[in-house]
Amino acid sequence: MTKETIDLLLKQCDRIRAIRMSKQRESKCHCFECVMNEEEHYLLEEEKKLVLG
């Protein structure tokens, strides 16, 4: 993956997180989709570190 691709995916993740957080200020959501999004975001951050060296 290129740095640009990773940045684009991170932006999408951040947008999803922002929407989710605005919907649920207090409660932490553990539905499959939300948990997967958190995991994906973490993996993308790790991938970005590798690409940037």
Query: What amino acid occupies position 49?
Result: K
Predicted pLDDT of residue 17: 75
DSSP-assigned letter for residue 15: H
pLDDT number for residue 47:
86
Amino acid at 38: E
Q: How far apart are CA 33 and CA 48, in angstroms?
A: 22
The tokens of 7 are what? 């940045």
pLDDT per residue rounded down to tens, the chain (53 residues): 788 888 888 888 788 777 777 766 555 666 666 666 777 878 888 888 888 87
The structural domains of the chain, with segments of one domain joined by +, span: 3-52
Q: How far apart are CA 39 and CA 23, in angstroms?
A: 20
What 8-state DSSP symbol labels residue 45?
A: H
